[in-house]
Amino acid sequence: MAQADRKDNVEPFVFPVKSPYKPENADIVLNGYADFLTQDPASSWVETLRQQGKARVEEFGIPSPKLERWKYTNLFPIEKERFKVQLPAILNPSIPDKLDGIESRLTIVNGIFQPQLSDMPEGLYCGSLKSFIESNDDWLRPYLESQDERVRQFDDQMLMDLNAAYMSDGIVIHVPKNVHIENTIEILSVLAGPVSSHPAILIVVEDGASLTLCERVIGDFGWQNRVNRVHVGSNARLNIFRTQTLSDKAYFTENTVVVQGRDSYLQMLTMTTGAALSRNQYHAFLKGENGECHIDGTYTITDKQHHDTTILIEHMEPHCYSNQTHKGLLAKNARGVFQGKIHVHQKAQKTDGYQLNNTILLSDTAEMDTKPELEIYADDVKCSHGATTGQLDDGPLFYMRSRGIPESVARKIMMQSFLGEVVDKIVDENMKSYCEQILDTWLDNVDKS
């Protein structure tokens, strides 16, 4: 009876939902886009990818803190800089020597491959993305076209779209089936000048192959917004060790999409000391049984630096193992963000997922936001996560001092041992000592002033 009285023609009042998107910001990042297209015309399928990317950027802008996964990282400082893409890069920055023990190096400057600054390795296919696009269409295309369905499901991938809009160059490394590359290969990525760059790095390690990569991201100015696509085939093995030591006037954002096959192994370890603002985002798909995925990192930042690590690991098949170990030191007004998630699909029984985020605040004004998450749809899994944020422990500090170790030395020892859990995972000895050196310098300077 009561229902009959209801006036069906009156719509219930709904509060207007404020859109989390800022399409008005598209103009900022697409400023000069027409010039870019004229200077760097592309083949038809790349052109299509560019247009799709651009269309989405125009529709959604670039991510704002109103989006759930962007709550703690505001890209406003980058917007404010009004960076433009500049082509061609007529640049000859001074670059450091190759790392000890390294013979082959691939160098990009502002995202553009530099053959004259590179020493090509043998036994695999590699080189500039641009040259691969021009000559190697068929093999390459699916890797760049396929936006993985689930990556697409997230509505905050505008930085990937922006990268696609400017698709032009980058690096391709392709290790054929069953080929083991014994010598570590270095990637040197240089930011030079106050411009933006949007390179794509494609790394494909085919079934049964193996490779170790070291990468350094260096430079004084600019913004790199890159996409890494990492494919590790069945029984294949890939280690990537990276340092990002940009100046605190540079910006670094990246999206890494990982696809792993059966019995594959991936380790990707990133040490961050640089950039005014950086965000390393990873989305890994364990698509074959018994895959193993390590995504690790350290962040040691100071002053007004901001660093964000955002990870989603998807266990899609049974018996996979994943490990995220992330440790950081935040000094002065530094701000850190860690959002790590393990998603276990219903089918992925016997998943073993591990996640750890520990941060030490070295000042009262440093700040850490950490958000570990588990989403589990299988019933027979082992997942653990832990997050702590605290100060350097007084007890060990006093104990060491009572043994004659000066406070500054004692603090350094404690900070080193804190980060040691991650640093010790670097199995490439040369890269490890390079990383230790960088941390050493950072630690020596952080307690001063």
* Amino acid code (one letter) for 170: G
> Which CB atom, from 5 or from 394, has the smaller least distance to another protein?
394
| Local structure of 185: helix, strand or coil | strand
Q: Does 392 interact with another protein (rule: CB under 8 A)?
A: no
Q: How far is the CB of 267 from another protein (least distance, A)?
A: 20
Q: Does 93 bind another protein (CB under 8 A)?
A: no
Contact predicate 359/326, CB 8 Å = no
Closer residue to another protein, CB minimum distance, 130 or 411:
411
Please give the C-alpha separations between residue 448 and each of 264, 331, 334, 408, 442, in angstroms, as whole numbers: 44, 11, 16, 9, 10
Counting contacts by CB under 8 A, is residue 409 touching another protein?
yes
Residue 267 falls in which region: left (phi positive, over 0), alpha (psi -120 to 50) or beta:
beta
For residue 256, give the nearest of 157, 175, 377, 177 by alpha carbon. Answer: 157
Q: Which is nearer to another protein, 203 or 443 (CB)?
A: 443
Q: How far is the CB of 407 from another protein (least distance, A)?
A: 7
Closest CA to 173 of 110, 105, 223, 241: 105
Size of the site for another protein (CB under 8 A): 22
- Residue 390 binds to another protein (criterion: CB under 8 A): no
402 binds another protein (CB under 8 A): yes
| Lookup: tokens for 154 | 């997230």
- Please select the residue that binds another protein; options are 323, 420, 425, 436, rule is CB under 8 A: 420
State yes or no: residue 401 binds another protein (CB under 8 A): yes
Tell me the β-bridge partners of 267. 239, 294
Residue 440 as a binder of another protein (CB under 8 A): the answer is: no
Q: Of 267, 212, 260, 263, which is closest to residue 235 (Cα–Cα)? A: 263
User: Which one, 181 or 419, has the nearer CB to another protein?
Assistant: 419
Please report whether residue 405 would count as binding another protein according to CB under 8 A: yes
Instruction: Give phi and psi for 278, each to the nearest 5.
Output: -140, 145
Task: Determine, following the binding rule CB under 8 A, whether residue 142 of this chain makes contact with another protein.
Answer: no
The reply on whether position 400 binds another protein by CB under 8 A is yes
Nearest distance, CB of residue 295 and another protein, angstroms: 21
- Min dist. Cβ of residue 398 to another protein (A): 6
> Does the bond joining 88 to the residue before it have cis omega, within 30 degrees of 0?
yes
Residue 43 near another protein by CB under 8 A: no
Considering only the stretches 25-33, 239-247, 259-267, 399-407, report the one whose residues sit in contact with another protein under the rule CB under 8 A: 399-407
Find the binder of another protein among 1, 403, 448, 449 (CB under 8 A): 403
Rounded distance between C-alpha atoms, residue 34 and residue 69, angstroms: 31
Q: Judged by CB under 8 A, which of 95, 383, 392, 414 binds another protein?
A: 414
Cβ-Cβ contacts under 8 Å for 434 (sequence gap 6 or more):
99, 100, 214, 243
Q: Is 16 in the site for another protein (CB under 8 A)?
A: no
Burial 31-45, CB ≥16 within 10 A → b, else e: ebbeebbeebebeee
- Residue where the block lists tokens 């509505």: 155
**Residue 45 exposure: Cα atoms within 13 Å on the Cβ side:** 12
Residue 435: CB minimum distance to another protein, A = 16
Buried b (16+ CB within 10 A) or exposed e, 282-319: bbbbbbbbbbbbbbbbbbbbbeebbbbbbbbbbbbbbb
Please tell me whether residue 321 binds another protein under the rule CB under 8 A.
no
Judged by CB under 8 A, does residue 437 bind another protein? no
- Token pair 């990556």 is at which residue? 151
Query: Which of 399, 427, 437, 444 contacts another protein by CB under 8 A?
Result: 399
Maximal CA-CA distance, the chain = 87
Q: Segment near another protein (CB under 8 A), from 26-34, 88-96, 283-291, 413-421?
A: 413-421
Which segment (63-71, 261-269, 361-369, 391-399) binds another protein by CB under 8 A? 391-399
By beta-carbon proximity to another protein, the closer residue of 84 and 401 is: 401
| Helix runs in 69-186, H state only | 76-81, 129-135, 137-145, 149-153, 158-165
Among 417, 437, 441, 445, the residue binding another protein under the rule CB under 8 A is 417
Residue placing its CB nearer to another protein in the complex, 59 or 440: 440
User: Where on the chain is the footprint of another protein (CB under 8 A)?
Assistant: 394-396, 398-407, 409-410, 413-414, 416-418, 420-421
